[in-house]
Each structure stands twice: as C-alpha cells, then as structure tokens.
Amino acid sequence: MREIVVFSGSAHPAFADSICEHLKVPRSYVDLKRFSNDCLQAQLLANCRQRDVYLVQPLVPPTQDHLMELLLMIDAARGASAERITAVIPYFAYARSDKKDASRISIGGKLVANLLETAGADRVITMALHAPQVHGFFSMPVDHLTAIGVLADHFRAVGGLTDSVVVSPDFGNAKTATQFSRLLGLPVAAGSKKRISDEKVVIDTIVGDVDGKRAIVLDDEISTGGSVVELLDRLAERGCTSADIACTHGLFVGRAVERLSSHPLIGHVVTTDTVPRPPDWPKLQVRSVSALFAEAIARIHAGESVSSLFDGVDPSHAPPQATLPLG
C-alpha cells in the first residue's frame, strides 16, 4: 500500500500536526512564498510520486489567500505524480454561498468546488457544511464529517442536563439539532430566523417549549455572533433561565468575543478546533476533532467505510449510542 503524506498550508498547521500525531506519520513541509507582485507560490518539500497525499487547509480569514494556497498545493501534488490527492478542508468557507436568492448573484460554493476539481483534487474531506446541498456541488467524492458526537460527549461530561433543551437558531439547522438532542436525551426547539445582512438577523419566534429551562444552543458556525445574541434575546423573553453555546466552527470574528464572553445569559461556549481559536478568550472551551479526521484518512487509505465512523451519531446510519466508536 502506498504511504500517506500529509501537508499543511498556513491556515491551521497545529490541526494538521494533531492529525499526523494520531496517524503516527510526520507532517511534510510546504515552502509558501509571496512575491513582490503579491503572487503566491507553493512548493511541496517531500516526495509525492505514487503517494496518497492529504492537504490540510481550513478556509479561514484571510480566506482568499488560504484558498489560493490550497489550490497551488493541489496543483503541485498533481505535477509531482501523486497517486491520489485529498483536500482536507475542516472548514469550507463558501458553503453559505449555496443558492441564487437574488438577481445576478454568484454561487461561491459551487465555484470553489469547481476550482478544487480543476486544480487536481480527487477527493474532499470536510466537516459540518452549512447546507446539505453544498455536498452536491462536488463531482468528486466528499466525506462529510460531523462533530455532534464530540460536542454531545462534552455536555454529557459536564452533566446537569435536567431541565435543558437543545435549541437551533433556525429551521435549516433543526435536523442536526434534533440528532444532537437525541444523543443527549433532550427535547428540541428552534428559532424562526430571517437574515437582514452579514451581521444582522431577526428571529421573530421560538418553536418549542423553553420556559424555565436551560438552553443548549447548537449551530454549525458562529461568525460575528449576531444570530446567537438575537436568539438569546428571544429565549429570555420566553422564560429561558440560562444558555450554553455549542458550535462546530468557532470563527468569532468582529465583535463576537465581546458579545458572547460578556452576555449575562451564557454559561459557557464550546467549539471544536476546525479553525484556530481566538487568542483573547481564555474561557472558551475547545474540543478536538482531529482524531475524527485522522480516522477518516486512515479508513480512506485502507479502503474502509467512513460513514461507519458515525454509527450512533447520525440516526440515519444507526440508533444513537452513548459514545462515538473510532475503532
């Protein structure tokens, strides 16, 4: 069997190092240069010929730079005669650009999928795409991982789930929130959300019983924190006593840290390490999903099932179970 070679761009090398630690392979290095005309160049500093190459790069800000780095690394691996090239994108930034909901608007999610294929990627591994239809933008295989098992483990360990309810900020995330609620044995509620702008949303109602309960708010991504704060205001009006926040991709840009770290209703905030943590929020709790990505890579390399990783997490594969099997 051809050996695994793992490279990382500049977006989140610590995450790639953690994946390599689980795989027990060294991370191979990339020479990334920016020329005086602002053009980027990527040179892979390890042999790729007939190797199974994995390129780790979440599309975090500066998103365009990190996307271009990934495309250049894919192109370099293809030119180096890699046997198979897998783009490992823990956070796929353009997933929100998934539909034509205004005149003459671009659909960035589809464009980025096309760019990855044109560059030479054979496969993509990602986590918690913003909308299920984004999966269909790719003509190559996509292994779509979920962090809800890891997040559920966190809340089971913390305990105190009596009189709690899982709350989705919108109906689009309600299916995932329902799966999460089953893992915790809790009821579920959801907000009715309308987005006004990048930073402003309106939630006009809450569907479900939250009166006198602690909310566990589950979202796929928190960017500026505007949606969460709006949701918390509505929850407080409906009699919610406190709230904990859980998300897969904790970008926390703009005023997000200020908004969430000082909000009187919030107990604690937990996220995963798909993106680098903000440096100015020591109380933020981060759970690692690097073992999931490493296991997915190992199974792809060996030709084994990746979906079976989530037996007991996604009820469409198996009934909910207490722990996430990684063996």
Between the CA of residue 278 and those of 249, 271, 272, 273, 298, what are the distances in Å?
12, 11, 12, 11, 30
What end-to-end distance do the CA atoms of the chain give, in Å?
20
* Active site (annotated) includes residue 24: no
Q: Is residue 152 classed exposed, middle or buried when 0-12, 13-18 and 19+ CB atoms within 10 A define those classes?
A: buried
Q: Which residues contact 21 (CB under 8 A, 6 or more apart)?
A: 290
Task: Count CA atoms within 13 Å of residue 26 on its CB side.
Answer: 6
Q: How far apart are the C-alpha atoms of 315 and 299, rounded to whole Å?
A: 21
Q: Using CB atoms within 10 A of its CB, is residue 177 exposed (0-12), middle (13-18) or buried (19+)?
A: buried
104, 131, 242 from 97: Cα distances, Å: 13, 9, 33
Residues in the chain: 327
Q: Is the dihedral of CA 293, 137, 315, 170 positive or negative?
A: positive
Using CA atoms, how far residue 173 sits from 183, 193, 278, in Å, is: 16, 11, 24
Among the options 100, 110, 193, 194, which is catalytic? Answer: 193
- How many of the other CB atoms lie within 10 Å of CB of 24? 9
Active site residues: 193
